[in-house]
Chain A
């Protein structure tokens, strides 16, 4: 398909009631911009009437397409597929449950054109339950901000706008769609944050619950670890190896100064040294892996990276 200005990517899963109003709302929001656009509905294996209804919409409007997954693969996979298939210069991602308002897209694109690579929405007047949704979200956002040093106010808001050449370089896998801003850190992306509208869910049920809090924390630790090691894998592993070696040497010195032959301390010394060697070798393997994938390792953490609100 020919290049367009804007691609709107919407993962949908059993959203039979939402899909019609959603497409209408997106088209209504984008048409006044007088720019070419496409809407990619990524169906994540819906089992209800989502596909027949979406097909009827597609038949009337060639700007709308449906990517149908063979099976349910999760939201990150749906985002990833949408990003891969999109032809736009600017990519917009949003939820398919009508909680995001497409009317915010023009404002976000205008912000992006001020010179940003990624514009993140934050839900100004969030229409969710406080205890089960808002409170865990507040906690998670604080934690993510502290750990990644990228203080995004609302990581859970799916309404985001990206430059295609930036987002297409971000590795997306597992459940990492929540951490896209953090994943752009190694690329030195310029990020802006803007307030967006939020509506209560009109149809169906939320696919998320409290159980995701633990998942988010574990994912966060993984992301942080990856980002640290991606920056300089051999150096980081060598640092751990050095710590182990120093611990071993200290134990060795204790053996020498005590004079007697100390079995326990010698064994501990050998354990630390073997660990040092092992970790260093693992670091070599990691460095080779990153080296073979050079495009993913521009490990320059720009000190100027910040979030503008």
Chain B
């Protein structure tokens, strides 16, 4: 990884960093202009901040613009041309490097009016993540509805503006969600389904001309997204209860196989129905074998969880509140799950 411009952060030490702004640049050659539109707002926030801008090998033109921008914007750090496995990979890497207590994700083209960013910072109080709902969503209709239905089906939560990439969240939320793999549009619903407080902020969409990338139908890409959603659903729902997942698949297969085998044997023994020249018995026994194997795998998973249950914490204590008879003090807890 090569950082073109790593600067000390304005004013504060690294430990006191309050905000990390993360931008993944891959398709917009004018990304520098887009990012620049937010500078006035970011400078006016009265927070120490850093901007981590990840670029991929295709973003040659954007990289040139961003490199110029770093000259007079010390908070901006550009990471050059590493193949990150797409936008999701870029974001995952940036989230790992982020040092701020809060992480603001911005897209490479302006999605909302810059001054609307302030609304996100107002809304984060008491919340873990703030997502945007633009008043004039450029992408909607069938795709939006389909995504919302899928999210609700798999994760039990959805957001009004699925395709908006602007979001503000606490870094420790991303640290946990990062473990499930970062898929851009899934982040808010994963956070909500993990019990984090996710709220929406109504914002005005960017009013200027935007050359946002056009939607391209990629069957394999959409198939991968669906596969990711199913995988995430299984992981989120059955991470601590593998036997329930494997059992719900293996037990029906086993039972069908067992009943079928019993019927075949009954026919052979009492009704003189020949079996030797029919593959039915192989099929039914195969179902028994498959069912037992699936259940056994689930059982091993459950045994692992059971045996490690005192080490695997399903909770994170954010603070302990104690009193001395007059006042209460909050003791933040920093140990990880």
A: which residues have CB within 8 A of B?
45, 47, 51, 54-56, 58-62, 64-74, 76-78, 80-81, 85, 171-174, 218, 221-222, 225-226, 229-230, 233, 237, 240, 244, 258, 260, 262-265, 267-268, 271-272, 274-275, 278-279, 282, 285-286, 289-290, 292-293, 296
Contacts and interface: CB of A to CB of B under 8 A. Distances in A.
A66 B321 contact: yes
17 contacts: A58-B328, A65-B322, A66-B320, A68-B317, A69-B315, A70-B315, A71-B194, A73-B195, A77-B314, A77-B315, A173-B240, A226-B306, A265-B275, A275-B288, A289-B300, A290-B303, A296-B307
Interface residues of B, number: 54
A45 B307 contact: no
Contacts of B307: 171, 289-290, 292-293, 296
B36 interface: no
B214 interface: no
Contacts of B218: none
B296 A59 contact: no
Contact of B296 (A72, A282, A290): A282
Contact of A70 (B172, B243, B292, B320): B172
B59 interface: no
A103 to B, nearest CB: 24
B85 interface: no
A174 B303 CA distance: 13
A292 B172 CA distance: 32
Nearest to B196: A71
B303 A229 contact: yes
Contacts of B288: 275
B128 interface: yes
B303 A289 contact: yes
A230 B194 CA distance: 30
Contacts of A262: 276
Given A69-B318, A286-B303, A264 B276 contact: yes
Q: Is the interface of A mostly helix, strand, loop or mixed?
A: helix
B103 to A, nearest CB: 15
Nearest to B170: A70
B241 interface: yes
Given A47-B197, A222-B241, A226-B302, A171 B309 contact: yes
B113 interface: no
B41 interface: no
B277 interface: yes
Contacts of B321: 51, 54-55, 58, 65-66, 68
B282 A71 contact: no
B187 to A, nearest CB: 15
Nearest to B332: A68
Contacts of A260: 276
Contact of B289 (A59, A274, A296): A274
A75 B25 CA distance: 42
B281 interface: yes
A264 B241 CA distance: 38
Contacts of A271: 282, 285-286, 289
Contact of A78 (B194, B303, B315, B327): B315
Nearest to B305: A173
Given A58-B323, A66-B320, A275 B240 contact: no
A172 to B, nearest CB: 6
Contact of A289 (B195, B285, B304, B319): B304
A1 to B, nearest CB: 9
Top 6 closest pairs, chain A to chain B, by CB: A72-B195, A71-B195, A171-B309, A59-B328, A66-B321, A77-B315
A230 B325 contact: no
Give the residue among B247, B278, B279, B292 with the most A Cβ atoms within 10 A: B292
Contacts of B313: 77, 80-81
Given A47-B197, A62-B324, A173-B314, A71 B128 contact: yes
Interface string B268-296: 00000001111101100110110011001
B303 A226 contact: yes
Given A65-B322, A71-B316, 8 more contacts: A47-B197, A60-B325, A61-B325, A71-B195, A71-B197, A77-B314, A271-B282, A282-B299
A61 B316 CA distance: 25
B244 interface: yes
B323 A60 contact: yes
Nearest to B243: A222
A278 B293 contact: yes
Nearest to A43: B321
Nearest to A79: B315
A206 to B, nearest CB: 19
B124 to A, nearest CB: 14
A56 B321 CA distance: 10
A60 B327 CA distance: 7
A55 B304 CA distance: 38
A268 B285 contact: yes
Contacts of B312: 173
A302 to B, nearest CB: 20
A230 B306 contact: yes
A158 to B, nearest CB: 17
A70 B282 contact: no
